[in-house]
């Protein structure tokens, strides 16, 4: 009998985690084979591998302990991959050679699938003097553009989706440009952005005092702290970025504050790391540890939780020795400190199963108690490992126990650390767990609330057909099995109805016992006022959170998944715009927009140097809520050499356009295409390929209809593209090129743009 609760879970296992040969033949016959492969690989470093393999298998069985996807997919495969999820790269030097050495290191790390973080505060601001070359600095954002292009290149080479985090201190002279960088929808799409907010800055915000923007001891500008804070808030309110990281709090609470300084995080923010820092992730599935669910005696089995955590810590410690690393500096950093990030998933489901409303005071208290139990078990397990295998190399008992997060740890745990040392410098972290939570039967993700009780998903079958299936939340499915299909109890809440400050309460409750950080998105309603939105961030600061990330659906950001108000059961699927690397592995798209009988559009003529015939590019728009958005594209030419790929391109782009959402990435991807035979110079600008030129034409159209606010970097628009028609179309459009220049010639309707004709 299959271990999978739903077809989607088995499909994810088959697609992402199942070991297969190069020709696609399955090596893991069942999910039990996958668990056995992982258990065997992580037990190999033990003195008694067979004993620990059985223990590790028991922890994995039934989806109780969920190693992060990189471990599940890579352990025991013999492939040259890293099993670590999170990397922060070395400090970026303020010189050209060092900057591009850093770029190379980032490319090597991303090539192996690692998500990376960088602090760009170390690069001198735009306009600063560059001594010895009689020039002014271009500033950190210009180099971020280079990193962004590198990440797109790595992705186009077939690697898994890249993700990067860029941080900048709130006192850097270029912080205002950094805050607003992603107003341009074509810029820095591979980056998440977060501002490193300091304690003095927050004090200045609350006092409405002045704030100096400084680099290398020189004050470049003085602003009002509250004005800068409001600017951060406004961009986050409208564009979902930048996030906010309370960096002084992170460093003050860091167990390793005595030997490292943190200035960046991994892409989702749950791992603040020092230069070359690396961390692996894993999650305890809280939903599997609830006894007597949905009864008056429902509870989390704390003894089972303690046993499971101890085994999980040992497994994760072994990953440090079993993993490969993209760079030797990362390997050294990992083995000197042996960081691990054990967290939870299925928390919201567990709360539902014991009768608590997510976001309530009682749920926050239960969450804090469970997190403390996990922290105690993790630290004591690591002490036991230190007795057996030795403490992490940089362990210093006095300094370690004086660190922020250890000061409130229980006395018996502190005494054990003082006596025996500890194997792992940091142990707890809460990751997004988007894909592994689906793989485990659609348990709630991380410490997030249940997003939707159920939704309909189209599943691609092996024969190419698509079927619809209902994906039901784990706790809801269990409740239906025991209580039938009646109304759900009142304590069942989801992300659609939860007040934002309840999110903050839950994050703060968990943070007390998490020694790294937490990946948490605070859902805000679209109609939340700006003042109430700002209060969410101030509440996160006041309640002790290490950072804050919000999501407010609007015309710019779109919606990750929208739920019909008429049903507590089936959400409608909607286009997604998510932060890079954050829950972005499974994206649910809407049904294509219906095509009206008549559309407005424009046709552009593009003459590529060296080509005998021009391309005619028509972009037609649909009007929704008074706004024009692109709906379809036609590309036509008399040059039959281009026929097959232009037809394919028009169909693919049109299909994307008709799905709705933010489709500006189409322009970005086209503009990034380089022709190995060489591009062309057009009026003083190098265009890397004819596809890039087409991307420029489409971008120009999107700007002219107001779909995007301005031009991206690189290719702006093709200087030789002529607008043939910008007025509203009249008459029939050409079925070949989409143009509106159809006329009767010798008894046949003929297109003057492309020559297509139809008689009769």
* 266 a catalytic residue: yes
Exposure string for 103-127, b = 16+ CB within 10 A, e = fewer: bebbbebbebbbbbbbbbbbbbbbe
* 268 a catalytic residue: yes
Indicate the pTM of the whole model.
0.75
Mean pLDDT over residues 232-237, rounded? 95
Among 266, 285, 442, 636, the one annotated catalytic: 266
Check residue 583 and give left, alpha or beta (phi > 0: left; psi -120 to 50: alpha): left
The angle, 0 to 180 degrees and rounded to 10, between the axes of the packed helices 31-43 and 302-322 is 70
CATH of domain 35-88+276-515: 3.20.70.20
Contacts of 349 (CB under 8 A, 6+ apart): 286, 287, 443, 444, 450, 473, 474, 475
Mean pLDDT over residues 416-435, rounded? 95
The count of other CB atoms within 10 Å of the CB of residue 321 is 13
Query: CA dihedral defined by 99, 101, 102, 108, rounded to 10 degrees?
Result: 150
DSSP state for residue 515 in the 8-state scheme: S
pLDDT tens for residues 296-322?
A: 999 999 999 999 999 999 999 999 999
Among 53, 105, 260, 270, the one annotated catalytic: 270
The angle, 0 to 180 degrees and rounded to 10, between the axes of the packed helices 96-111 and 140-156 is 30
Chain region(s) in the chain for CATH 3.20.70.20: 35-88+276-515
pLDDT tens for residues 143-177?
A: 998 888 888 777 544 445 557 899 999 999 999 99
pLDDT tens for residues 199-212?
A: 999 999 999 999 99
Give, for 454, the enclosing helix (H) or strand (E).
strand 454-460
Where would I find the H helices in 454-575?
474-483, 500-511, 530-542
Structure tokens at 486: 């009646």
Among 86, 170, 268, 548, the one annotated catalytic: 268
pLDDT band for position 362 (50/70/90)? very high
pLDDT tens for residues 377-409?
A: 999 999 999 999 999 999 999 999 998 889 999
Report percent pLDDT > 70 for the chain. Answer: 83
Contacts of 217 (CB under 8 A, 6+ apart): none
Residue 550 has pLDDT above 80, yes or no: yes
Residue 470, classed as helix, strand or coil, is strand
pLDDT tens for residues 659-699?
A: 766 677 788 788 878 776 777 877 667 788 888 889 889 98
Mean pLDDT over residues 18-29, rounded? 92
Residue 234, classed as helix, strand or coil, is helix
Mean pLDDT over residues 90-94, rounded? 91
Mean pLDDT over residues 177-192, rounded? 87
Mean pLDDT over residues 348-371, rounded? 97
Arithmetic mean of pLDDT over the chain: 84
Which is more confidently placed, 274 or 495?
274
Residue 721 has pLDDT above 80, yes or no: no
Structure tokens at 499: 């007040």
Check residue 65 and give left, alpha or beta (phi > 0: left; psi -120 to 50: alpha): beta
Residue 630, classed as helix, strand or coil, is strand
Residue 180, classed as helix, strand or coil, is coil
Check residue 221 and give left, alpha or beta (phi > 0: left; psi -120 to 50: alpha): beta
């Amino acid at each position: 009998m299959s271990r999978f609760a739903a077809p989607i879970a088995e499909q994810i296992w088959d697609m992402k985690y199942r070991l297969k040969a190069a020709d696609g033949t399955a090596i893991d016959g069942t999910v039990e084979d996958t668990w056995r492969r992982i258990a065997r690989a992580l037990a190999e470093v033990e003195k008694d591998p067979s004993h620990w393999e059985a223990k590790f298998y028991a922890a994995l069985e039934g989806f109780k302990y969920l190693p992060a996807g990189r471990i599940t997919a890579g352990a025991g495969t013999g492939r040259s991959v890293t099993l670590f999820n999170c990397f922060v790269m070395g400090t970026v030097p303020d010189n050209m050679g060092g900057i591009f050495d850093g770029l190379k290191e980032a490319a090597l790390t991303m090539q192996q699938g690692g998500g990376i973080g960088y602090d760009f505060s170390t690069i001198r601001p735009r306009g600063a003097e560059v001594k010895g070359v009689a020039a002014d600095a271009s500033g950190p954002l210009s180099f971020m553009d280079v990193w962004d292009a590198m990440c797109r290149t790595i992705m186009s080479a077939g690697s898994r989706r890249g993700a990067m985090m860029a941080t900048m201190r709130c006192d850097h002279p270029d912080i205002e440009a950094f805050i607003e960088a992603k107003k341009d929808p074509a810029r820095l799409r591979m980056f998440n952005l977060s501002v490193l907010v300091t304690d003095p800055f927050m004090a200045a915000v609350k006092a409405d005092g002045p704030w100096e923007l400084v680099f290398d001891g020189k004050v470049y500008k003085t602003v009002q702290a509250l004005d800068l804070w409001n600017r951060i808030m406004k961009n986050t309110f409208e564009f979902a970025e930048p996030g906010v990281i309370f960096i002084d709090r992170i460093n003050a609470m860091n167990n390793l504050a005595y030997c490292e300084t943190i200035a960046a995080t991994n892409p989702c923010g749950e791992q603040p790391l020092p230069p070359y820092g690396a961390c692996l992730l894993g999650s305890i599935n809280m939903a599997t540890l609830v006894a007597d669910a949905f009864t008056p005696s429902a509870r989390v089995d704390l003894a089972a939780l303690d046993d499971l955590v101890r085994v999980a810590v040992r497994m994760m410690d072994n990953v440090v020795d079993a993993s490969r690393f993209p760079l030797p500096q990362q390997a050294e950093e990992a083995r000197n400190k042996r960081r691990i990030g054990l967290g939870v998933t299925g928390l919201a489901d567990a709360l539902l199963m014991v009768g608590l409303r997510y976001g309530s005071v009682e749920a926050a208290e239960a969450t804090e108690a469970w997190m403390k139990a996990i922290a105690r078990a993790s630290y004591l397990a690591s002490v036991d490992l230190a007795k057996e295998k030795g403490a992490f190399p940089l362990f210093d008992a006095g300094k370690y126990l004086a660190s922020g997060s250890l000061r409130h740890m229980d006395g018996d745990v502190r005494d054990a650390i003082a006596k025996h040392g500890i194997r792992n410098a940091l142990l707890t972290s809460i990751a997004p767990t988007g894909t592994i939570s689906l793989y485990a039967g659609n348990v709630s993700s991380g410490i997030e609330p249940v997003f939707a009780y159920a939704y309909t998903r189209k599943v691609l079958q092996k024969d190419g057909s698509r079927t619809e299936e209902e994906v039901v939340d784990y706790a809801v499915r269990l409740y239906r099995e025991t209580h039938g299909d009646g109304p759900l109890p009142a304590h069942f809440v989801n992300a659609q109805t939860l007040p934002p400050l309840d999110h903050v309460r839950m994050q703060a409750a968990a943070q007390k016992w998490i020694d790294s950080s937490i990946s948490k998105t605070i859902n805000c309603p679209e109609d939340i006022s700006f003042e109430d939105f700002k209060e969410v961030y101030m509440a996160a600061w006041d309640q002790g959170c290490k950072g804050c990330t919000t999501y407010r659906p609007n015309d710019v950001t779109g919606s990750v998944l929208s739920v019909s108000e008429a049903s507590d059961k089936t959400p409608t699927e909607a286009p997604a715009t998510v932060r890079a690397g954050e829950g972005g592995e499974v994206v649910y798209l809407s049904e294509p927009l219906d095509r009206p009988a008549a559309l407005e559009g424009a046709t552009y003529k593009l003459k590529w140097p060296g080509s005998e015939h021009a391309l005619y590019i028509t972009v037609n728009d649909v009007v929704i809520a008074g706004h024009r958005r692109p709906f379809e594209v036609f590309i036509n030419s008399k040059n039959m050499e281009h026929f097959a790929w232009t037809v394919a391109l028009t169909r693919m782009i049109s299909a994307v356009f008709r799905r709705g959402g933010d489709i500006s990435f189409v322009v970005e991807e086209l503009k990034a295409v380089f022709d190995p035979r060489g591009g062309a110079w057009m009026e003083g600008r190098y265009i890397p390929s004819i596809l890039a030129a087409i991307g420029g034409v489409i971008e120009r159209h999107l700007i002219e209809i107001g779909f995007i606010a301005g031009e991206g970097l690189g290719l702006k628009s093709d200087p030789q593209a002529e607008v043939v028609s910008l007025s509203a179309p009249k008459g029939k459009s050409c079925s070949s090129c989409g143009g509106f220049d159809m006329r009767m010639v010798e008894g046949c309707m003929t297109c003057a743009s492309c020559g297509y004709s139809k008689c009769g």
